DNA sequence: GAGTTGTTTTGGAACGATCCAAACAGAAAT
DNA sequence: ATTTCTGTTTGGATCGTTCCAAAACAACTC
């Protein structure tokens, strides 16, 4: 009973067969006679037998465990992403390890190593900021890795991202269509690939409308409420007065809306704001925030599915998946009455 | 190089020692000579050796993996809880499996079994609604389990919960202190232990103030925005007109606030509302919501710590931990100017 | 040089599964 | 009676670790 966990040998003894036969039953083999199968199954449930996958992987079976390493679990967007991964795993009989790197490359290394030690067969990775190529290359050798949201240039790993450029282009085009000419790009800073892509989409839309690009309208900031708030003053300064802003993400956008409101600017009428990611809060802020929806959950699912496919097939060739975005129109961008969602092709 | 993962034997060969010596180095034993230790360490990094914990647990080492089974990951409160668990794990060198049971007892059984098969040494469990004792007793035999938030009466497992009763008592007392006499309890239904506790605290406060308990003021509902919304009509009906409400949780409270506002009632002046859990959104809703803060993250950490202690010690005797709550005063309860946080003893 | 220490190192048997080659039983064909 | 066949079942080696008893080595003492 309580002398530790029952093993395949215990089951075999109780059923009066050899351990090999029990193993065949576990594997669902058609070799074993029906009567025997039943006897073995009976013995299993009588003993409360639990399969020991660790022992099996030791012999070479692949593990069915995958690691998810997320850069920032205090950000609801990445939480959604993680949930998407878990969902996909559950559907496929996989089970995920969860770890938060908290944007710390050292912690990230530690958790990845720990996951490998514990037998993870692959990794879904949302890389921490400032991760360097050398941090990862050795660590992940021989195991499939799918990067999600962010990409580390030069890493031999797959990638799943939203169509950042196209999403930003659509959003900017919308603002232009509403008559704006002085449109700012607010939030983020430096070498973030995601930001580069979104900024590129913004510039593309300006170009298409033959509006000249003005560096003064690109405002860097931390990517939190405070950062968005801090940007407000600059956008209202007479020299570079803007009438609309595309923000790096929703959190920045909400910070900006609050600061503008506080300054007496009526967002949605005097000033248009569009965010990115469409987090839950976007619906509830006042005015409701127009946002480029990224569907983090779907992104996570796709990443996990790709990874599981690579694990199952044993082919780890890097692959890229772009997930479509859609512009969710709410009143913050100045057209309160239109609420249709237009999905990208 | 790429002929599979390097093993302890490969390291031994390269360092010119036996596998036993390498094992001693891994275990940090003081038996091995410094020179040898260095040679072995060198060989390890040269080969990119990765420790295989699975093989070790097979020999009897305990696993360092714990499972978290969460009832509802679409609820931000439980997400916070999960993050707290992950945090505590990382601090202690443990690593958690993540699974969402989505309030489905069958799924819950499946993931628990899967976690055991994969070698989880213990479980943090936020039980799904309608879980029956029999679903779990056999499954978790011989492994430590810590229930969190909810409790399954009769289950041989530890428990970590917030002081639901005391929190509800304090909140209700506050409303009474503000002059209210017709105070409703809104949200939840049926056999939820958490709700019973909160309801008990509510009744206790009424009793202490010698206000008689009125069944008509207890409004059942689903525990989502819609449920809170639906309750509004009943609270405004002339027969049972209430002037304040303590809600089962914040989501219900926010639904209620919206519906009341829509009906022309000015919450915070004409009607007082207090929620439970203090989710992020509580700050941002209008008017900002007074709430009994539960600190889900802390709750998760405590649960994980308790579990890890039990795993390490090998003693699985059930234990209970009550986590203090604090009443976070915001304007929805009618005292807009007071913003101090009073912490429970 | 044999014995007595003390410090390092080492074979080999576990742990719980898989899988191959080989054995077994019974029926059918020779 | 022997062979062949089909359908089942089974030892034992193996995976990467740990751990124990025993071996090897070095430095002493008598």
pLDDT tens digit sequence for B49-78: 999 999 999 999 999 999 999 999 988 889
- CA-nearest of B317, B330, B238, B248 to B284 is B330
B112: phi then psi, degrees, rounded to nearest 5: -65, -45
Nucleotide nearest A11 (Cα, C1'): C16
pLDDT at residue B240 in the model = 75
User: Nearest C-alpha of chain B: how many angstroms from A48?
Assistant: 8
Angle at B84 between CA B165 and CA B188, to 5 degrees: 35
Q: How far is the CA of B116 from the C1' of D13 (A)?
A: 28
Q: Which residues of B touch A73 (CB under 8 A)?
A: 83, 86
Helices and strands per DSSP (H, E), number in chain B = 13, 13
Contact: A53, B100; criterion CB under 8 Å? no
Q: How many CA atoms lie within 13 A of A76 on its CB side?
A: 21
User: Strand D: which residues 59-118 of A lie within 7 A (CB)?
Assistant: 59-60
Rounded Cα gap, residues A48 and A11, in angstroms: 10
pLDDT at residue B238 in the model = 81
CB atoms within 10 A of CB B154: 11
Statement: the CB of B4 is under 7 Å from strand D: yes
Rounded Cα gap, residues A28 and A24, in angstroms: 6
User: Nearest C-alpha of chain B: how many angstroms from A240?
Assistant: 30
pLDDT at residue B335 in the model = 67
Specify the DSSP class assigned to residue B239.
Answer: G
pTM: 0.89
- Hey, CA dihedral for A255, B285, B201, B132, is it positive or negative? negative
Phi-psi bin for A264: left (phi > 0), alpha (psi -120 to 50), beta? left
Footprint of strand C on the protein (CB under 7 A): A 4-5, 7-9, 19-20, 23, 26-27, 50-52, 55-56, 58-61; B 17-21, 24, 31-33, 35-36, 55, 58-60
pLDDT at residue B199 in the model = 97
Helical residues (DSSP H) of chain A, grouped into ranges = 8-15, 19-26, 34-47, 53-58, 76-92, 105-117, 133-137, 164-177, 193-208, 225-236, 250-262, 281-284, 296-313
Q: Which residues of A touch B111 (CB under 8 A)?
A: 90, 95
- Hey, CA dihedral for A71, A77, A83, A86, is it positive or negative? negative
Q: Which residues of B touch A138 (CB under 8 A)?
A: 48
User: Nearest C-alpha of chain A: how many angstroms from B211?
Assistant: 37
B146 forms beta bridges with B124, B158
Q: Which residues of A touch B51 (CB under 8 A)?
A: 117
Helical residues (DSSP H) of A52-163, grouped into ranges = 53-58, 76-92, 105-117, 133-137
The radius of gyration of chain A from alpha carbons, rounded to an integer in Å, stands at 26
The chain A residue lying nearest B4, using CA atoms, is A142
**B48: helix, coil or strand?**
coil
Q: Is B45 exposed, middle or buried (0-12, 13-18, 19+ CB in 10 A)?
A: exposed
Rounded Cα gap, residues A244 and A179, in angstroms: 10
Rounded Cα gap, residues B278 and B291, in angstroms: 5
**How many residues belong to chain B?**
345
Contact: A83, B74; criterion CB under 8 Å? yes
Helical residues (DSSP H) of A209-295, grouped into ranges = 225-236, 250-262, 281-284
How many Cβ pairs closer than 8 A exist between chain A and B? 117
Compute CA distances B31 → A175, B24, B56, B298, whole Å. Answer: 71, 8, 20, 41
The residue with tokens 């070799």 is A31
A252 within 8 A of A274, measured Cβ to Cβ: no
Specify the DSSP class assigned to residue A278.
Answer: -
Spans in chain B with pLDDT lower than 70: 1-3, 335-345
Task: Encode chain A (345 residues) as per-residue pLDDT tens digits.
Answer: 446 789 999 999 999 999 999 999 999 999 999 999 999 999 999 999 999 999 999 999 999 999 999 999 988 889 999 999 999 999 999 999 999 999 999 999 999 999 999 999 999 999 999 999 999 999 999 999 999 999 999 999 999 999 999 999 999 999 999 999 999 999 998 778 899 999 999 999 999 999 999 999 999 999 888 999 999 999 998 877 899 999 999 999 999 999 999 999 999 999 999 999 998 889 878 899 999 999 999 999 999 999 999 999 999 999 999 999 999 999 999 863 333 343 333
A8 within 8 A of A40, measured Cβ to Cβ: no
Q: How far is the CA of A41 from the C1' of D5 (A)?
A: 30
Beta strands in B38-94 (DSSP E): 65-70
Q: Which of A2, A96, A116 sits opposite B50 (nearest CB)?
A: A116
Compute CA distances A322 → A158, A161, A299, A345, B203, whole Å. Answer: 11, 5, 9, 12, 55
Nucleotide nearest A16 (Cα, C1'): D9
- Strands A183-186 and A244-247 come out as parallel
Nucleotide nearest B18 (Cα, C1'): C10
Residues 6 or more apart whose Cβ sits within 8 Å of residue B216: B239, B240
Compute CA distances A9 → A3, A19, A40, A43, B90, whole Å. Answer: 14, 5, 11, 11, 36
Rounded Cα gap, residues A64 and A57, in angstroms: 9
pLDDT at residue B53 in the model = 97
């Amino acid at each position: 009973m309580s002398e530790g966990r029952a093993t395949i040998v215990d089951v075999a003894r109780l059923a009066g067969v050899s351990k090999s036969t029990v193993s065949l039953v576990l594997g669902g083999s058609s070799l074993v006679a029906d009567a025997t199968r039943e006897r073995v199954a009976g013995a299993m449930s009588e003993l409360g037998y639990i399969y020991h996958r660790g022992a099996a992987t030791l012999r070479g079976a692949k593990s069915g465990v995958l690691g998810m390493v997320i850069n920032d679990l205090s950000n609801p967007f990445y939480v959604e992403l993680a949930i998407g991964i878990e969902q996909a795993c559950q559907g496929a009989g996989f089970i995920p390890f969860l770890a938060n790197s908290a944007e710390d490359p050292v912690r990230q290394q530690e958790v990845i190593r720990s996951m490998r030690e514990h037998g993870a067969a692959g990794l879904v990775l949302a890389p921490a900021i400032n991760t360097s190529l050398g941090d990862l290359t050795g660590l992940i050798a021989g195991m499939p890795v799918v990067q999600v949201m962010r990409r580390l240039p030069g890493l031999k790993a797959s990638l799943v991202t939203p169509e950042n450029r196209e999403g930003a282009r659509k959003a900017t085009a919308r603002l232009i269509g509403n008559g704006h000419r002085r449109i700012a790009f607010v939030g983020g800073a430096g070498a973030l690939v995601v930001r580069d892509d979104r900024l590129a989409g913004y510039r593309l839309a300006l170009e298409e409308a033959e509006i000249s690009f003005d560096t003064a309208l690109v405002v860097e900031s931390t990517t939190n409420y405070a950062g968005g708030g801090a940007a407000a003053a600059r956008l209202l300064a007479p020299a570079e007065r803007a009438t609309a802003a595309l923000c790096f993400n929703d959190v920045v956008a909400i910070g900006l809306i609050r600061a503008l409101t506080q300054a007496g600017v009526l967002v949605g009428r005097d000033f248009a704001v569009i965010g990115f990611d469409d987090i839950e809060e976007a619906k509830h802020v006042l005015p409701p925030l127009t946002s480029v929806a990224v569907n983090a959950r779907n992104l996570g699912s796709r990443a996990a599915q790709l990874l599981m496919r690579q694990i199952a097939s044993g082919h780890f060739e890097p692959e890229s998946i772009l997930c479509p975005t859609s512009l969710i129109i709410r009143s913050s961008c100045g057209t309160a009455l239109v609420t249709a969602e237009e999905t990208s092709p």
